Amino acid sequence: MTKAAEVIVIGGGIIGLSIALELRWRGLQVLVLTQDYQTAAANAAAGMLAPQAEEIPSGALLDLCTLSRSLYTDWTNKLTMATGLDTGYWECGILAPRYERPTDAQITWQSRAELVGHLPTDNLGTEVVGGYWFDTDGQVDNRALYKSIQVAAESAGVRVQTGVQVTAEDLQDLSQGVAGLVADRYILATGAWSQDLLPVPVVPRKGQLIALQVPHGEDLPLNTVLFGTEIYIVPRRDGRIVIGATSEDVGFATGNTAEGVQGLFDRAIRLCPALAKYPVVEEWWGFRPATPDELPILGYSADPRLILATGHYRNGILLAPATAQIIADLLFDQMHPLLLSCDYRRFMKQ
Ligand SMILES: Cc1cc2nc3c(=O)[nH]c(=O)nc-3n(C[C@H](O)[C@H](O)[C@H](O)COP(=O)(O)OP(=O)(O)OC[C@H]3O[C@@H](n4cnc5c(N)ncnc54)[C@H](O)[C@@H]3O)c2cc1C
């Protein structure tokens, strides 16, 4: 059978495309098969790079997130060099205001006055008593980043076929290829839809978001992300303010709901009343690929020709560069130590 590529990546979300691009940069011929770019969670996300603000406990997930955050400056610079496109990467820090001071906090508490010192003006709601400042967290404009990866991948010579729906049947006999296309290795990166193809415990966790727009010429009310309780506010440098997100166990139910959107507006305005006056420019939703322990599934499947890269849940934008590097290393026979924790077989233990 004629070989279509050395590697076929199934799924063209941020994870699949980042891996495809990294492999191409390392000299392999890569073909991506994907339904589309539109449904990818990278279009829906908020783009926070927030291992500290998310308060991820120490362990493999925090190690992976911290590794990935450390790669972000070089990775986004490389993408911009390759494409001329800005990714909106911004080491703006993340402020986590609270309405009560927890008694058992492990993190250094800052008073309300100290928190306000990180902002251009005192834009915090009157109920905020203090909180935390995470200076190494930040953000990227996930849509701009995803676009830059698409452009970089295609200009580097990654071939992409859209409109292809790979089925579980297509993965039954890899010696016959996938959807009739043969490669040496296959990578499954189908995000929240992964269970359609393999029995991996990845389920959709819906998130709804809204965006406001600061009028042209006006100063941003915030110069850092606000990460509250069940709410975050992400100001972009272009004046867009992304507000998210719900976390709903409703399968692939599409659309925004009145309750979801109302909750976002209420919590955002309570945290930062200055937002109330800005026009609403967009409402949308997306599906996070959730695993039971919130760690992604990375590494070999039962068939070593098929490698898994899915289940990045709420941190897939953050985890894209580390995932690309670790999976590319694996194809060159280098096992990153974190792969042990991310192996799918952890779910088969008692
Ligand atoms: C509301 C929300 C907010 C978020 N906020 C953040 C954040 O602030 N920071 C952060 O780091 N992460 C965030 N995330 C998480 C992040 O967006 C995801 O973890 C990440 O985008 C997942 O990428 P992926 O490539 O694995 O999956 P996806 O983006 O879902 O891509 C999967 C791709 O596979 C394709 N596909 C699916 N099935 C098939 C098939 N059978 N055949 C062919 N192609 C198929 C789809 O068309 C899609 O293009 C957020 C996500 C959501 C939904």
**Ligand 1 atom 22: residue of nearest CA:** 316
Q: What is the distance between the alpha carbons of residues 186 and 87, in angstroms, rounded to a whole number?
A: 28
Give tens-digit pLDDT for 93-146.
Answer: 999 999 999 887 778 999 999 999 999 999 999 999 999 999 999 999 999 999
Judged against a pLDDT cut of 80, whether residue 349 lies above it is answered with no
- Compute, in angstroms, the gap from residue 62 CA to the centroid of ligand 1: 20
Average pLDDT in the 182-194 region? 98
pLDDT for 172 equals: 93
Judged against a pLDDT cut of 60, whether residue 68 lies above it is answered with yes
User: Which domains, and CATH codes, for the chain?
Assistant: 7-86+141-202+292-348 (3.50.50.60), 94-134+203-290 (3.30.9.10)
- Compute, in angstroms, the gap from residue 192 CA to the centroid of ligand 1: 7
Please name the residue ranges forming H helices in the chain.
Answer: 14-25, 60-83, 112-116, 142-156, 258-271, 316-331, 339-342
| Residue to probe by mutation, ligand 1, list 8, 142, 146, 166, most atoms within 8 Å of CB | 142
| Residue to probe by mutation, ligand 1, list 33, 195, 288, most atoms within 8 Å of CB | 288
Nearest ligand 1 atom, CA 317: 11
Q: What is the distance between the alpha carbons of residues 5 and 29, in angstroms, rounded to a whole number?
A: 5
**Ligand 1 atom 37: residue of nearest CA:** 190
- Compute, in angstroms, the gap from residue 310 CA to the centroid of ligand 1: 9
- The residues lining ligand 1, judged by C-beta closer than 6 Å to any ligand atom, are 10-16, 33-37, 39-42, 44-48, 164-166, 189-193, 196-197, 207, 209, 244-245, 286-289, 310, 312-318
Model confidence at 47, pLDDT cuts 50, 70, 90, reads very high
Judged against a pLDDT cut of 70, whether residue 322 lies above it is answered with yes
| Average pLDDT of every residue of the chain | 97
pLDDT for 293 equals: 96
pLDDT for 287 equals: 98
Average pLDDT in the 305-324 region? 98
Nearest ligand 1 atom, CA 17: 25
pLDDT for 103 equals: 85
Average pLDDT in the 326-346 region? 97
The single residue listed with the structure tokens 């990578």 is 187
pLDDT for 258 equals: 98
Provide the 3-class DSSP secondary structure of residue 322: helix
- Compute, in angstroms, the gap from residue 128 CA to the centroid of ligand 1: 33
Q: What is the distance between the alpha carbons of residues 56 and 107, in angstroms, rounded to a whole number?
A: 12
For every residue of 118-184, DSSP letters joined together read TSSS--S-TT--EEEEETT-EE--HHHHHHHHHHHHHHHT-EEEES----TGGGS-GGG-BTTBB-S
Nearest ligand 1 atom, CA 46: 8
**Ligand 1 atom 12: residue of nearest CA:** 315
pLDDT for 106 equals: 77
- Compute, in angstroms, the gap from residue 284 CA to the centroid of ligand 1: 14
Judged against a pLDDT cut of 80, whether residue 185 lies above it is answered with yes
Nearest ligand 1 atom, CA 38: 49
Give tens-digit pLDDT for 11-23.
Answer: 999 999 999 999 9
**Ligand 1 atom 26: residue of nearest CA:** 191
Nearest ligand 1 atom, CA 310: 26
Nearest ligand 1 atom, CA 209: 1
pLDDT for 348 equals: 87
Judged against a pLDDT cut of 70, whether residue 256 lies above it is answered with yes
- Compute, in angstroms, the gap from residue 161 CA to the centroid of ligand 1: 18
CB 17 within 8 A of CB 153: yes
Nearest ligand 1 atom, CA 37: 49
pLDDT for 105 equals: 72
Number of helices followed by number of strands (H, E) in the chain: 7, 16
Q: What is the distance between the alpha carbons of residues 331 and 28, in angstroms, rounded to a whole number?
A: 10
Nearest to 59 by CA among 338, 346, 310: 338
Nearest ligand 1 atom, CA 207: 1
- Compute, in angstroms, the gap from residue 288 CA to the centroid of ligand 1: 6
